[in-house]
Amino acid sequence: MAGEWEDVGIERRGDVAVLWLERPHRLNAFRLVTFQMLHEALDQLAQDPGVRAVVITGRGRAFCAGEDLDEMNRGAALGFSVRAARRDLTRLQDLTRKLLSFPKPVVAAINGPAVGLGAELPLACRMRVADPEAYFYFAEASRGMLQTNGTFHFLPRIVGAGRAMEWLVTARRIPATEAWSAGLVNTLAPQSDLVAVAVATA
């Protein structure tokens, strides 16, 4: 079943809903409206009695490249305000809170690069399945920024404080195989089987 949102699609596989990020031409980077579309899709699935679990994955070669930098740069050119910064931060954190409190299990299927926001959101999912060729990239330190979406809280609890600190302050790409060894990824599966394995896991 296709979703009604431009940036997000829903496919039913039995009693599991696969929620697709649908901007492959932008590596599934989030526009401002993408947040609202994903909220609405999750609300719909939470209320659907035929859905027992959800898988989130990306269309194309990336899971999610974070926020759309072109849109962010256009906004920055118009000027900075504390009110806008608070609004943007709240939008990020509201999505994380929704995933954490979601009444059904959510499994992230990491089909390719998971960058910035794309690396953060899977931390709020119950489990994570990844293509061995995928990677996580907590990129904020490379841009002189701090993690602001709960990563300092969640990541150390999953992989340990020392490893989390190294990943976050060096801002290096973390191969999915390393993430699996560290316990961030529960299962590795090739891209051809990834969604099926994630659905079975869910």
Q: Which of 71, 120, 133, 178 is catalytic?
A: 120
Q: Of the residues 6, 11, 71, 140, which is catalytic?
A: 140
Is 40 a residue of the active site? no
Query: How would you list the strands of the sheet with 127-130, edge to edge?
Result: 8-13, 16-21, 53-58, 106-110, 127-130, 187-188
Residue 127 contacts residue 201 (beta carbons within 8 Å): yes
Alpha helices in the chain (DSSP H): 32-47, 69-77, 82-101, 117-120, 151-159, 161-170, 176-182, 191-201
- Nearest to residue 63, comparing CAs of 14, 123, 12? 123
Exposure class string for 148-162: b at 16+ Cβ within 10 A, else e:
ebbbeebbbebbeee
Please confirm, yes or no, whether 178 is among the known catalytic residues: no
Residue entry with tokens 């920055």 = 76
Query: Catalytic amino acids?
Result: 120, 140
